[in-house]
Amino acid sequence: MRVITGSARGRVLKTLEGEDVRPTTDRVKEAIFSIIQFEIEGREVLDLFAGSGQLGIEALSRGAAYSTFVDLNKDAVSVIKSNLLATGLHRNSAVLQSDAFAFLRNSKKKFDIVFMDPPYSKGLLQKALPLVADVMNDGGVIICEHPYGEEMPQNVGRFSIYREYKYSKLALTVYRLDEGVDAK
């Protein structure tokens, strides 16, 4: 697993060990950043259920202003911190060991880009999406990675499905502000 492009291009990232770990493949990561390539620079990013932190790190490498990483697993937090130091991107980030739902309920910060890739088939995306919608800036984008065929809500708060992409056994669902819904 490596950083694809930007200031940390080519840097190898550590990942967690274990059967439940499934880092985003380079092919899917390239697709994600192709979708948002002109929306990254200077933006506030949230990497929720961060794992190794590779998506938030890729965003920082490509010019995001700041990335917040949230994961409950203390080993994941350690790996994220190590990866940030190895890439030299630690100054523009915060790494929090926290339950994602508690973080979202208490967050005062607003985000422009949110990446969510939680453990599969536990309903975590569906539960987190309404809370994520509440911490989004207007014009923001929410990107969810999940098993292909998993039912995703059409609308969450002021956001609705913009596009869905299929990559073998997994899918990406992209949410954007629904122009037909009044802002809060």
Domains of the chain: 26-177 (3.40.50.150)
**Mean of all residue pLDDT scores within the chain:** 91
The predicted pLDDT at position 144 comes to 96
User: What's the pTM?
Assistant: 0.92
- Poorest-pLDDT segment among 1-5, 41-45, 103-107, 154-158: 1-5
Q: Which residues contact 65 (CB under 8 A, 6 or more apart)?
A: 42, 43, 44, 92
Instruction: Write the single-letter amino acid at 129.
Output: L
DSSP 15-51: ---STT--PPPHHHHHHHHHHTTTS-TT-EEEEET-T
Distance CA 12, CA 50 (A): 17
